[in-house]
Structure 1
Amino acid sequence: MRTQEDLHDEDDDFDRPSKSQLKRESHVLQSLGEDLLTLPASRLEPLTLPEILLDALRMAKKITSHEGRRRQMQYIGKLMRRVDPEPIRQAVAAYKLGHAKDSLALHESEAWRERLLADDNALQSFIAEHAGIDVQQLRSLVRAARKDAANEPEKRSGRAFRELFQFIKTERLRVNPATEGESAEDADEDEQA
């Protein structure tokens, strides 16, 4: 027969999270660990992660086998239980935002190139928005790109298009450096690693 004390002990069992809840939390941490793998080493340093977790992340980057990688990610999820996930979430979000900004800046530069090639009025708009621009160089690049575009597709070199794009991108970053994310620096660091 159950005593009052036994019933009280059973109530204490329900105060802890269920096994399903623990698994859900573990999957969230494992997913966050996968996001950590996308960060370059320069972004991991300020997070002050335990050395064992950093070693596990380095090992996961080297593993190519599907099953081996899955098990390593489970291990990373287990190790992540010992760290505060909030700074990691913030670092991953900031990194992804930087990539999104870079992508947007490239798309805007491409759009400007298309507008400059299609419309003479776009040239004046671009010059007005980007004070201090080398107008003569811009006009010569636009002229060369238009001349190249007039050629038959197999005779186009594409060099003028690329040079115009690079000029536009450089000028946009010079005028508005906020559009430049940190991912360009991170890409350089990843190549060196």
Structure 2
Amino acid sequence: MKKRGKKPELDWTDEQEEIIWVSKSEIKRDAEDLKKLGSKLVELTPANLEKIPLDETLLDAIHLARRSVKEAKRRQLQFIGKLLRSIDTDPIQEALDKIENKHNQQQAMLHKIEYLRDDLVEKGDDELAQFFDQHPDADRQHLRNLIRSAQKEKEQNKPPKAYREIYQYLKELMLEN
């Protein structure tokens, strides 16, 4: 019979690296997050996709996923997730966040324009004077005519043509600045 000896003790000094255990569930969650990032990249417009730093293989995979349907698209998204696992995704995520934030800012600006239009039509000259103080380059005559027309349309229950024109004019004016 063989004698059993003492097991050698492990020397845990500062020189050795600490082993970090990652659970299988955490690995799966990370892979799923990268797959979601890949699907966001696939859904971007071509102009926005150009703003994101991507290598050629990833870009080709994204273009192929756009052309694919159903099961082929799902498999292609899996492949894009696999490609994303092998690269640093921080610059990609930062660029995507900038694009999404710009979209959110634009949406907020459009809502602000809608509220301004509603106030101009409802409150009339008081609100209009404040608007002209903030935007001296606005065409006063044109805007007053549109507001009057919108008020008449509202009173007579007509389609809101001038109401829409006010929005378009304000949008053009505000986004120009």
Point out which structure has higher relative CO (alpha carbons under 8 A, 6+ apart).
Answer: 1
TM-score w.r.t. length of structure 2: 0.82
Q: Identify which range, 131-140 or 23-32, moves more after superposition.
A: 23-32
Deviations 1:107-150 (A, max 9, x none): 11111111111112111111111122111111011011111111
Is there any run of 5+ residues in structure 2 with no aligned partner, and where?
A: 11-16
- How big is the shift at 1:54? 1.1
Map of 2:116 onto structure 1 = 112
CA contact (8 A) 1:49 1:83 kept: no
Distance 1:46 1:95 in 2: 9
TM-score w.r.t. length of structure 1: 0.76
Q: Identify which range, 19-28 or 142-151, moves more after superposition.
A: 19-28
- How big is the shift at 1:64? 2.8
Q: Structure 1 residues 22 and 164 mapped into 2: Cα distance closer, same or farther (>3 Å)?
A: same
Distance 2:138 2:20 in 1: 66
2:132 aligned with 1:130: no
Q: Structure 1 residues 125 and 46 mapped into 2: Cα distance closer, same or farther (>3 Å)?
A: closer
Task: Give the letter aligned to residue 78 of structure 2.
Answer: Q
The counterpart of 2:167, out of the listed 165, 169, 179, is 165
2:66 aligned with 1:70: no
- How big is the shift at 1:77? 0.3
Q: Which has the larger radius of gyration?
A: 2
Task: Give the letter aligned to residue 167 of structure 1.
Answer: Y
CA contact (8 A) 1:148 1:158 kept: yes
CA contact (8 A) 1:56 1:76 kept: yes
CA contact (8 A) 1:144 1:160 kept: yes
How much identity, in percent, do the aligned residues show? Answer: 34
Task: Give the letter aligned to residue 90 of structure 2.
Answer: E
Deviations 1:85-126 (A, max 9, x none): 011111111111111111111111111111111112111111
Distance 1:165 1:2 in 2: 86
* Secondary structure of residue in 1 paired with 2:169: helix
Q: Identify which range, 94-103 or 52-61, moves more after superposition.
A: 52-61
CA RMSD of aligned residues (A): 2.3
- How big is the shift at 1:2? 9.2
* Secondary structure of residue in 2 paired with 1:22: helix
Task: Give the letter aligned to residue 146 of structure 1.
Answer: Q
Higher helix proportion (structure 1 or 2):
1
